[in-house]
């Protein structure tokens, strides 16, 4: 079993709620990697008996650092329409909410379609880049193969402030695993904190809220398979304890698979 599937495995309990367990493979500095928590919160409606369609929108709010160990998830279908379904999801540990989420699922049909944004031009292919070093990095980074064209985690936190926080990175699960909605939700949180790239200074940080739009459908994810996707991430603003991040995830056929936005707490 792939470590990602172990980490996002949810047992359905008789009352319709779910039980999961944090995974040492995806440990972060404190508690588990937030991307896997987001993936677990999406996994609950994905495997719910009332599920309609595929995810279009996912918002995850990280209310507290998860403790290593068991957690429970309750997913409620708030409203099911003809082609859309709205979910409210809560993850608890010891009777306290540690994360909450909302998700919108939809049955999509073919319509007029057009891209507007484009991925960066003239990027080296993933094969032409070397994998980012893992020394001194938390466990979860070992389960992503990241190849930075620009804006890698700094080798040294030398406090040389950069002009921007833009990263361009080819990334896939390690070991390779076919892309699906749940792994894409996690991958959208795999970009290192923008403040580290911009400021090159270590500081406590924590994502407080993260929203992902899924532009892809199942067929597009299946066509992408195990190959690297291209992530592009940047911040708009760092101000008084909170900065934002906007990221796009592109397939290697240059189709937009997901766009994801988060707001992150930081201390000086």
Binding site for its own copies (CB under 8 A): 56-57, 59, 61, 63-64, 78-79, 81, 84, 86, 88, 90, 96-98, 100-102, 104, 106, 108-117, 161, 164-165, 198-199, 208-209, 211, 213, 215, 217, 234-242, 244, 246, 248, 256, 259, 261, 263, 265-268
Query: Least distance in Å: CB of 19 to its own copies?
Result: 20
C-beta neighbour count of 258 within 10 angstroms: 24
Query: Least distance in Å: CB of 143 to its own copies?
Result: 27
Of the pair 3, 31, the CB lying nearest its own copies is at 31
Of the pair 129, 263, the CB lying nearest its own copies is at 263
Residues 6+ apart with CB under 8 A from 239: none
Reported as type and span, the H/E element at residue 6 is helix 3-7
Rounded distance, CA 53 to CA 12, Å?
A: 20
Query: Least distance in Å: CB of 107 to its own copies?
Result: 9
Reported as type and span, the H/E element at residue 144 is strand 144-150
Of the pair 22, 93, the CB lying nearest its own copies is at 93
Query: Least distance in Å: CB of 125 to its own copies?
Result: 23
Of the pair 35, 119, the CB lying nearest its own copies is at 119
Chain CA centroid to CA 250, Å: 14
Query: Least distance in Å: CB of 58 to its own copies?
Result: 9
Rounded distance, CA 6 to CA 4, Å?
A: 5
Q: Do 160 and 179 meet the contact criterion of CB atoms below 8 Å apart?
A: no
Of the pair 47, 255, the CB lying nearest its own copies is at 255
Of the pair 182, 216, the CB lying nearest its own copies is at 216
Smallest CA-to-CA distance from 194 within 158, 157, 153, 159 is with 153
Q: What does the longest C-alpha to C-alpha distance in the chain come to?
A: 55
Query: Least distance in Å: CB of 74 to its own copies?
Result: 12
Q: How far is CA 184 from CA 92, 151, 161, 203, 259, in A?
A: 23, 21, 31, 27, 10
């Amino acid at each position: 079993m792939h470590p990602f599937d172990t980490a996002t495995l949810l047992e359905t309990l008789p009352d319709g709620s779910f039980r999961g367990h944090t995974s040492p493979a995806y440990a972060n500095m404190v508690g588990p990697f937030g991307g896997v928590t987001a993936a677990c919160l999406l996994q609950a409606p994905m495997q719910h008996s009332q599920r309609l369609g595929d995810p279009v929108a996912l918002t995850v709010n990280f209310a507290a650092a998860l403790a290593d160990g068991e957690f429970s998830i309750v997913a409620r279908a708030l409203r099911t329409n003809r082609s859309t379904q709205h979910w409210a999801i809560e993850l608890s540990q010891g009777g306290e909410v540690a994360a909450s989420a909302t998700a919108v699922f939809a049955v999509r049909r073919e319509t007029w379609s057009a891209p507007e944004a484009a991925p960066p031009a003239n990027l080296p292919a993933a094969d032409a880049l070397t994998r980012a070093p893992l020394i001194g990095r938390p466990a979860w980074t070992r389960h992503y193969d990241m190849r930075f064209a620009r804006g890698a985690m700094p080798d040294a936190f030398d406090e040389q402030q950069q002009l921007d926080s833009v990263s361009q990175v080819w990334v896939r699960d390690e070991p390779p695993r076919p892309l699906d909605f749940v792994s894409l939700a996690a991958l959208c949180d795999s970009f290192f904190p923008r403040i580290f790239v911009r400021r090159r200074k270590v500081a406590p940080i924590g994502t407080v809220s993260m929203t992902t739009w899924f532009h892809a459908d199942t067929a597009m994810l299946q066509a992408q398979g195990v190959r690297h996707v291209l992530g592009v991430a940047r911040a708009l603003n760092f101000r008084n304890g909170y900065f934002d991040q906007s990221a796009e995830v592109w397939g290697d056929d240059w189709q937009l698979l997901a766009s994801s936005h988060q707001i992150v707490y930081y201390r000086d």
